A and B are shown apart, each in its own frame.
Chain A
């Protein structure tokens, strides 16, 4: 049983002019393994900032608040230590890493997360099985990480890593964006397999309700102007589907 606890989180970025801009203005969120939370909000509301701040991207400065995983101070950890502690961020725009093959990358990451190198034969078997689950062509193992991948291939590659690295809490940042319906189903199946296994929690960040038809959330948080403005169950997503974010944006008095 794991708990990710976000308390009064304030995060700023430095804009090109050197001015500090506050993006997150006091986020409170507690999630446990076994739960799926959806964070929904308009573009520019700070959803991705929340994801990157939890993962430790150096561009985002936490100015106030705390993030803990099972009581451990996540904000005090380096980026790689956060991943080893059990946090995983599926990125909206995964980086292309020239000259580093997918299989070499996966093996290195698994070694880091599990603390010991997997046996080569077992690793290959595990990787191939996970690739088959996500309808990824085996040739991708020898391609460079994300290099020349289509949008859908990149997202499936993120879910492949989710499956192999087996974190406690997965944060999925707009994993549904840019996917056609078939790819969306493959990705959703992958997420559902992950959360069906004990000890796993999912924080799903999305702009659209489409993916929530395939991945049913337990909780929905409406995110506007850098904070959560409304919380509810799956029915809140339905409501947003018909009414949109406008009402919340107006109420929050923040730019959408």
Chain B
């Protein structure tokens, strides 16, 4: 028979064990609880007036699209870049009228969408205007990205500016030059160079950083009259003509997206783009105008 004063001793380890278990459970429940995803009851809605055409998507499309919208003369609301993927999602959600993409649709994105390609733009090797004009071939560009070549001919330090993986400009060059693709991907892995994720950031880097070089759109350079040096590729200077003749290899197609048949307003804008005036504007801006899809021709 244990004395009453000693009985509590037998409960003490049990109490400590229970307390420790409670603390452990509380710790795990507090720190391991993740976000609770609510079931959406609402969808994002257009917040622009019904009589305005709302466009958003890839930053590569913005300069030409803005030019065309101004020439069209009706109310167009053009959002800042949300990327091709953002354009696809936004148009599918109904948040915009037309999405802007600068790359082919992926297989999982194609369902229910109509693609309206309207321009082809040369992807160029661009640098600050202080850099003397260069003529790059596959090995030369690969040397830049792999870090073998570190200076320009005038001795200026060379700074490569890369876009994120999957960027349409990089894809356009990597499709043709595999050695460049290897050098570029290795640079990603080693984080050798600065990586930006938007056209605006690339533009700012090329303009502001002395000796910087990167892949950019020729159309944007021409429309915005950017003081950038555009280099030759295997002796060919990029232009709509060399692009059309196939002498200049690197390009990407700019397209618009609609969910099914476009609205009347959007159809009117697309009609303007594919009109002679629209195509002329496109060509003069440094882009190669593309034909309306065969299935959508009147």
A associates with B: no
Residues on A facing B (Cβ under 8 Å)? none
